[in-house]
Amino acid sequence: MIRRLLARLRPAPLPVAPEPPGRVSPRDVGLHDAILDGWFLQGSGELLKGFAITADDTLLDVGCGEGVATLFAVRQGASVIFTDSEHDKVRDLARQVEAQSTKPHLGLVSNSLPLPLAAGCASKVVCMEVLEHIDQPEPFMAELVRMGRPGAQYLLSVPAPVGEHLQQGIAPASYYQTPNHVQIFTEQRFAELVENAGLVIEHRQASGFFWVMGMIFFWASERAAGRDLGGAVRDRIQAPYPPLMESWARTWQDLLAQPDGLAIKQMLDRFMPKSQVIIARKPLAGETRTGSPP
């Protein structure tokens, strides 16, 4: 919401069971926080401001997880291709897509090196909170570029380094080992990865202070309970959330309701973002990397 709670920790814009009276869901508060940042704009069909999806698009969602991007694209009438290394994720998402779409769609279990797809199969390519899990991000990125047709738009995100370094003091060692976060991208390194692959960057943003703090409270709760996550963490950070996370969500919700709440949020997002996002474009044939004919 910003993959994997937070490596799929991005809250998905999907119906969820209401919380009991007096409880506040970090998932719901995180979704509201994301919408304030320009995500999930149903009215304009933009998954993120500047990344519009239409019924004419074929969207490729690499590392689809719970299918946030895929299901948003389905609601815009697009055709979808979605891949993940976990069979259960692809199977469950395929069932949801089948129930909601009459357009062509394809789900694949793949580690994406290589992707078993024809070059130029997509007009929109999404890869969110995935690259930090990849031992060799350059060939992975080259595969993403191969999938886009000339002029295709890309929506890419990775964790911001400040949040990653902050969590190193409290997260278990396994969080920074395979299959979790084995890469930390500075802003410069992330931009260079995208540009060296042949894409033109159109927009950059960073946000998610709410989730940086949410993760810290999650790790603190796990330690207090005497638990070490071990292995993959993405399926553990979900409802029922620890009381400390719920308390933080309530505090953040109350802050956003204040007259200066949005301004404070934006300041904190700049200071300590959870994710950094790039919208990029694959040049048209004969177009230079600056976006002009040679």
**For the chain, percent of residues with pLDDT exceeding 90:** 76
**Does the pLDDT at position 185 exceed 80?**
yes
- pLDDT tens, position by position, 32-60: 999 999 999 999 999 999 999 999 999 99
Class for the domain spanning 26-281:
alpha beta
How far, in Å, CA of 282 to CA of 151, rounded?
5
- pLDDT tens, position by position, 191-219: 999 999 999 999 999 999 999 999 999 99
Mean of pLDDT values over 266-292: 87
Residue type, 51: F
Structure tokens at 277: 């996002």
Question: What pLDDT is recorded for position 288?
Answer: 64
pLDDT band for position 230 (cuts 50, 70, 90): low
**For the chain, percent of residues with pLDDT exceeding 70:** 87
**Does the pLDDT at position 294 exceed 80?**
no
Question: What pLDDT is recorded for position 292?
Answer: 46
By CB atoms closer than 10 A (0-12, 13-18, 19+), residue 85 is middle
Mean of pLDDT values over 116-123: 96
Global pTM value: 0.88
C-beta of residue 81 within 8 angstroms of C-beta of residue 60: yes
Cis peptide before 159 (omega within 30 of 0): no
Question: What pLDDT is recorded for position 151?
Answer: 98
- 135 or 231, greater pLDDT: 135
Question: What pLDDT is recorded for position 137?
Answer: 96
- 75 or 171, greater pLDDT: 75
Domain boundaries, the chain: 26-281
